[in-house]
Chains A and B, each alone.
Chain A
Amino acid sequence: MTKALVRARAILRTGLDDRGRTRVETMRSDPPITLRQTAPGEVHLVSTGAGPLGGDRLRLDVEVAEGTSLTVRSIASTLVLPGTGRSLMEIHVYVASGGSLVFAPEPTVLAAACDHRMTTAITLEPDASLFWREEIVFGRHGERPGRCHSRFDATFAGRPLLRQEFVVGDPDADGSPAVFGTARCVGSTLITAASKEAEVAEGVAVLPLAGPGTLVSALAADAVELRNRLSWGESRVSV
């Protein structure tokens, strides 16, 4: 492969307009990460290029100012492809006190032979609110996925709220009844709202965290089933 390696850093920041409403203050696209405002306080990620491909290093910074609300979605799923070396997608998020962020893009699909690293670092100030959904699909239909290592870190008011890593494509964990079992997708939604008690249904659990938040965690055979399971879990958490 001779494709030039991509370095991109997109930035998204909110502020308040003079009538006290959320305004998207900074929206710096950096292809292949292109940002499009689709409604007040709502931005869609539009991929304007294949990948990420191996070797690409992409970064998205999101900053939600005090008292503002932002929703980030995406137009389509992200297909991670092999290339020259490892691809990286890092997301850095800051939500100020009284700010609110909904981040619910379409799934990340791991194509065969990909080598992908994802890191998400979220800082939540006191009274910040967050809804963060992440879905990983192990290969396209009938395809064995390459390798992916994701790490998610969220702190709330300076204390760790949730830290979790997923490794796909590790022979020790793949197919283990302790990790993903027979599932082909893994997903989770972190919501900064308390739920009284844990709930569990087929392939999905609603898990009240030790800190102020709830994690909906699901495993499924395909992306549709995964979304259904997560949605059920999300509906059990009172926001």
Chain B
Amino acid sequence: MDVTATEAPALTGAASGMPPTTDLTGQPGPADLTGLTGLSGLLLLADSRLPAGGHAHSGGAEEACRTGAISGPEDLARFLRGRLATAGRVAAALAWSACAAAHVPKFPDTEVPDIRAADSGDPTSTGPAGAADAADKWRLLDAEADARIASPAQRLASRTQGRLLVRTAKRIWPSRALEELARDVPDGAHHPIALGVAARAAGCTPAQAAMAAAYTSVTGAATAAVRLLGLDPVTVHRVLADLPYDSVIAEQHDWSALPAHAAPALDLLAEQHLRTEVRLFVS
């Protein structure tokens, strides 16, 4: 099934120049002979220069530096590995799911989180009621993100960044998917969901969306630590290069079963950070 062909014809900017080469599963289609599908979108989205406010967030690194939990490159490496394995893994799964579901009128069969499961076996499954109202899907994925972010400070930071990203991405890659997301989650979608939909608008596959989410889950913290502690940027980039991004990315189908790896220390750092008087970063 060809998704990009269902794009509203008026939106000439959307995925311009991008051949309709991805199907719903994110597998490159036959036109993708060079493996380039989605790569330009991925580069733009993962770039820290994307004007979407990401630079204002340290992902808990500022507070960890202040309390001494991070004091050098070794601590930072452990911080980033843990962040990637928890928050990064969850963000990647949400971004994958959002990208796969973006501007698809109905869920493909394999991705319907079926609410009927609640009556037949798995009581914790949730899903859109029968007809799968398109507006419900974003509220549903949004609720799944909410249930995985226990800290209100982190939920706020996630929504703030998501809202800014949607606002920016709507102008860069005008598309029905981003308009729908902005309409259906008016308080601001969680950042990984915004990232997944923006990635779809930019022509990326779900795997690329997940990679962008995994990558941005650690780069902001790394850059913040460089600035706060005066660390050698090359050493820190070596740390970033060594991180196992692939290990936190997996194909996702059932939204209720998405990874939910918690990071209690990040929760504590996020809440403490809000109560710290002198702050360089928003989170």
Answer yes or no: are A and B bound together in one complex.
yes
- A residues with CB within 8 A of B: 92, 94, 121-123, 151-155, 158-167, 170, 172-173, 175-181, 183, 186, 188, 197-200, 203-205, 207-211, 215, 217-219
Assess A176 versus B82: contact at CB under 8 Å? Given A163-B260, A165-B259.
yes
Contact of A94 among B80, B115, B122, B123 (CB under 8 A): B123
B275 contacts A by Cβ under 8 Å: yes
B265→A211 contact, CB < 8 A: no
The CA of A50 and the CA of B262, in the complex, are separated in Å by: 29
Known A161-B147, A163-B147, A207-B267: A175·B118 in contact at CB below 8 Å:
no
Q: Are B146 and A173 in contact (CB under 8 A)?
A: no
Report B91 CB to chain A, min CB distance, Å: 13
- Give the tally of cross-chain contacts (CB within 8 A): 154
Instruction: Indicate which residue in B78, B244, B267 contacts A176 across the interface (CB closer than 8 Å).
Output: B78
Docked-complex contact A164 and B262, CB < 8 angstroms: yes
Consensus secondary structure, chain B interface: helix
Interface check B132, CB cutoff 8 A: no
- Complex-state Cα separation, A154 to B150, whole angstroms: 13
Q: Beta-carbon contacts of B189-219 to A below 8 Å, as 1s and 0s? A: 0000000000000000000000000000000
Contact in complex: B82, A179 (CB < 8 Å): yes
Taking the closest CB of chain B, its distance from the CB of A168, in whole angstroms, is 12
For B84, list chain A residues within 8 Å (CB): 172
B123, A92: Cβ atoms closer than 8 Å: yes
Give 18 new A-B contacts, CB below 8 A, not counting A179-B264, A203-B268: A121-B124, A160-B144, A160-B146, A164-B261, A165-B259, A176-B78, A176-B82, A177-B69, A178-B269, A179-B86, A180-B265, A183-B264, A200-B271, A200-B272, A205-B267, A210-B147, A210-B155, A219-B264
Convert B77-100 into 0s and 1s, putting 1 for each residue whose CB lies closer than 8 angstroms to a CB of A: 011111111110000000000000
Digitize B95-126: 1 where CB-to-A-CB distance is under 8 Å, 0 elsewhere: 00000000000000000000100100011101
Q: Are the C-beta atoms of A153 and B85 separated by less than 8 Å?
A: no
Set of chain B residues within 8 Å of A209, measured between Cβ atoms: 146-147, 150
| Chain A residues, Cβ within 8 Å of B118 | 123, 158
CA A219 to CA B69, docked complex, whole Å: 14
Asked if A181 contacts B150 (CB within 8 A), the reply is no
6 contacts between A and B (CB under 8 A): A153-B260, A165-B260, A176-B81, A200-B268, A204-B268, A208-B152
Cβ of B153 < 8 Å from any Cβ of A? yes
**CB within 8 A of B75: which of A159, A177, A215, A217?**
A177
| Shortest beta-carbon contacts, A-B, top 8 | A176-B82, A210-B146, A160-B147, A178-B82, A163-B260, A177-B69, A123-B123, A179-B82
Residue of A nearest to B153 (CB): A198
- Interface residues in B, total, Cβ within 8 A: 51
- CB atoms of B152 and A198 under 8 A apart: yes
Question: What is the distance, in angstroms, from B99's C-beta to the closest C-beta of chain A?
Answer: 20
Partner of A164, one of B78, B155, B260, B266: B260
Are A153 and B124 interface neighbours, CB within 8 A? yes
Whether B280 sits at the interface, judged by CB under 8 Å, is no
A178 and B272 in contact, given A155-B126, A158-B115, A160-B143 (Cβ under 8 angstroms): no
Binding site for A on B (CB under 8 A): 60, 64, 69-70, 75, 78-87, 115, 118, 122-124, 126, 143-144, 146-153, 155, 244, 247, 256, 258-269, 271-272, 274-275
Residue with the highest number of chain B CB atoms closer than 10 Å, among A178, A183, A188, A218: A178
Q: Are A172 and B85 in contact (CB under 8 A)?
A: yes
Taking CB atoms, residues of chain B closer than 8 Å to A166 are 261-262
* Contact between chains at B256 and A153 (CB < 8 Å): yes
Query: In the complex the two chains form, is B79's CB within 8 Å of A167's CB?
Result: no
Judging by beta carbons under 8 Å apart, are B261 and A165 in contact? yes
Please determine whether B265 and A164 come into contact, CB atoms closer than 8 angstroms. Answer: no
**Given A205-B267, A207-B271, A217-B267, residue A177 in contact with residue B260 (CB < 8 A):** no
- Interface contact A207-B86, CB-CB below 8 Å: no
| A173 with B81: CB separation less than 8 A | yes
* Residues in chain B near residue A164, CB distance under 8 A: 148, 150, 260-262
Q: Which residues of A contact B274 (CB under 8 A)?
A: 198
Min distance, Cβ A180 to any Cβ of chain B, angstroms: 6
Residues of B close to A163: CB separation below 8 A = 144, 147-148, 256, 258, 260
Please determine whether A177 and B265 come into contact, CB atoms closer than 8 angstroms.
Answer: yes
A155 to B256, CA, bound (A): 10
A152: chain B residues at CB < 8 Å are: 260
**C-alpha spacing A182/B115, complex, angstroms:** 41
- Contact, CB under 8 Å: B150 / A211: no
Q: Are A207 and B79 in contact (CB under 8 A)?
A: no
In the assembled complex, the Cα of A159 lies from the Cα of B141 at a distance in Å of 11
Asked whether, in the complex, the Cβ of B151 is within 8 Å of the Cβ of A207, the reply is yes
